[in-house]
């Protein structure tokens, strides 16, 4: 019996030594140490041994079993390590290969320009206000001194959704909403950028959807000179310090007096060219002193408070600033056009 155990140990250790894979090693474990294995078989025969022999044989059998499992364990570690190394070797990454370049996008030119204008006004103490694009007739027209049937409504061909709702034709309704919302009926200083919609046929200078930025300042003693000073700063910061502005009388139902602001033409320096249509001036925006009716309708005391407002179109400003000749370029998303406005830092 002793012999048999020694033999088994020898055989098993040889097998372990030769094993080249984890599966093979596991088979060895099962066949030598398992319940149906030869060692168990040998131990079963212990009943026939004398009382003196039994503990000696038992101790030997345990020794053999321990030796085999220790050998298996050790080999298992080696094989596992080899497996990991093989995997690592197979999956090596060649870090010297040049990477695939990531194409980096850039802000849309209108987004950049609107942010530039926002920053400028935030620097002058304004906050940004927003309003809905699907607007009520009341805020889009009536609260701006444009009652139903007013002929000036035709200045802005509208997309009506129901009798009382439409896609806003300008960002001016945000003025009315902000004044109405102001519970103290106190000072306001906002600009409101956003999309507006008009029933226009698209061409080089018209789009059925475009952007506007509205400005509104309400306080005691706000005067036309405040408006002029503000617009002068705006024009010089956006178009260049050498630009002059001029205010021309105009008409908007929500302002009185109303003006349009022109900037001096940079291309001809005022001499007259095709861009300024020979006048030396280019129209940029509409503005004026907030009409007392507009203040009163929003609950303001028009004896105490005055204000100015202005509205501009970022597309037009971008076209002049960057020399773009067709408004549709901003909306057709031709990557060759958009890429020209990438800022390379």
Q: For ligand DAH, give the closer residue by CB, 27 or 226.
A: 226
Q: For ligand DAH, give the closer residue by CB, 193 or 311.
A: 311
Contacts of 271 (CB under 8 A, 6+ apart): 280
Answer whether 247's CB lies under 8 Å from 310's CB.
no
Minimal distance in Å, beta carbon 150 to ligand DAH?
14
Q: For ligand DAH, give the closer residue by CB, 252 or 330.
A: 252
Residue-level length of the chain: 345
Minimal distance in Å, beta carbon 196 to ligand DAH?
7
Q: For ligand DAH, give the closer residue by CB, 309 or 318.
A: 309
Q: Does 109 bind ligand DAH (CB under 6 A)?
A: no
Minimal distance in Å, beta carbon 273 to ligand DAH?
26
Q: For ligand DAH, give the closer residue by CB, 12 or 259.
A: 259
d(CA 104, CA 331): 20
Contact positions with ligand DAH (CB under 6 A) in 110-169: none
Minimal distance in Å, beta carbon 282 to ligand DAH?
16
Q: Find the part of the chain contacting ligand DAH (CB under 6 A) among 45-53, 107-115, 291-299, 309-317.
A: 309-317
Rg (alpha carbons) of the chain, rounded to whole number: 43
Minimal distance in Å, beta carbon 285 to ligand DAH?
7
Q: Does 310 bind ligand DAH (CB under 6 A)?
A: yes
CA angle 76, 82, 84 (to 5 degrees): 105
Q: Does 311 bind ligand DAH (CB under 6 A)?
A: yes
Helix (H, G, I), strand (E, B) or coil at 261: strand
CB-CB neighbours of 35 under 10 Å: 7
Contact positions with ligand DAH (CB under 6 A) in 272-291: 286-288
d(CA 82, CA 279): 85
| Residue in the shown chain whose Cβ atom is closest to ligand DAH | 311
Residue 146 Rama label (left phi>0; alpha psi -120 to 50; beta): beta
Answer whether 275's CB lies under 8 Å from 247's CB.
no
Q: Find the part of the chain contacting ligand DAH (CB under 6 A) among 72-80, 86-94, 159-167, 305-313.
A: 305-313
Name the one residue in this structure whose structure tokens are 């304004």.
126
Taking CB under 6 A as the criterion, the residue among 230, 255, 264, 306 binding ligand DAH is 255
d(CA 218, CA 200): 32
CA atoms within 13 A on the CB side of 293: 13
Contact positions with ligand DAH (CB under 6 A) in 160-219: 170, 172, 214
Taking CB under 6 A as the criterion, the residue among 68, 191, 309, 317 binding ligand DAH is 309
Q: For ligand DAH, give the closer residue by CB, 32 or 254.
A: 254
Helix (H, G, I), strand (E, B) or coil at 241: coil
Contacts of 230 (CB under 8 A, 6+ apart): 124, 215, 217, 308, 310
Q: Give residues in contact with ligand DAH (CB under 6 A).
A: 170, 172, 214, 252, 255, 286-288, 309-311
């Amino acid at each position: 019996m002793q012999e048999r155990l020694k033999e088994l140990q020898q055989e098993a250790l040889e097998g372990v030594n030769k094993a080249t894979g984890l599966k093979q090693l596991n088979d060895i474990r099962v066949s030598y140490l398992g319940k149906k294995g030869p060692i168990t078989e040998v131990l079963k025969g212990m009943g026939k041994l004398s009382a003196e022999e039994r503990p000696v044989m038992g101790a030997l059998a345990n020794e053999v079993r321990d030796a085999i499992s220790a050998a298996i364990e050790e080999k298992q570690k080696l094989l596992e390590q080899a497996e990991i190394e093989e995997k690592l070797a197979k999956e090596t990454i060649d870090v010297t290969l040049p990477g695939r370049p990531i194409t980096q996008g850039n802000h849309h030119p209108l987004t950049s320009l609107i942010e530039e204008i926002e920053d400028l006004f935030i620097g002058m103490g304004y906050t940004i206000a927003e309003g809905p694009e699907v607007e009520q007739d009341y805020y889009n027209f009536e609260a701006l001194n444009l009652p139903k049937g007013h002929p000036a409504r035709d200045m802005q061909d509208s997309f009506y959704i129901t009798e009382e709702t439409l896609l806003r034709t300008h960002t001016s309704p945000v003025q009315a909403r902000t004044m109405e919302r102001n519970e103290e009926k106190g000072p306001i200083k906002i600009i409101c950028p956003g999309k507006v919609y008009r029933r226009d046929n698209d061409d080089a200078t018209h789009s059925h959807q475009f952007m506007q930025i509205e400005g509104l300042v309400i306080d005691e003693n706000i005067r036309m000179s405040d408006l002029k000073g503000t617009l002068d700063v705006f024009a010089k910061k956006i178009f260049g310090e050498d630009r002059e502005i001029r205010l021309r009388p105009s008409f908007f139902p929500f302002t009185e007096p109303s003006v349009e602001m022109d900037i001096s033409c940079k291309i001809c320096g005022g001499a007259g060219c095709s861009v300024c249509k020979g006048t030396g001036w280019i129209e940029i925006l509409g503005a004026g002193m907030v009409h007392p009716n507009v203040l009163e309708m929003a609950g303001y005391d028009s004896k105490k408070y005055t204000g100015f407002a202005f509205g501009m179109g970022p597309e037009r400003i971008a076209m002049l600033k960057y020399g773009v000749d067709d408004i549709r370029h901003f909306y057709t998303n031709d990557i060759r056009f958009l890429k020209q406005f990438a800022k390379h830092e």
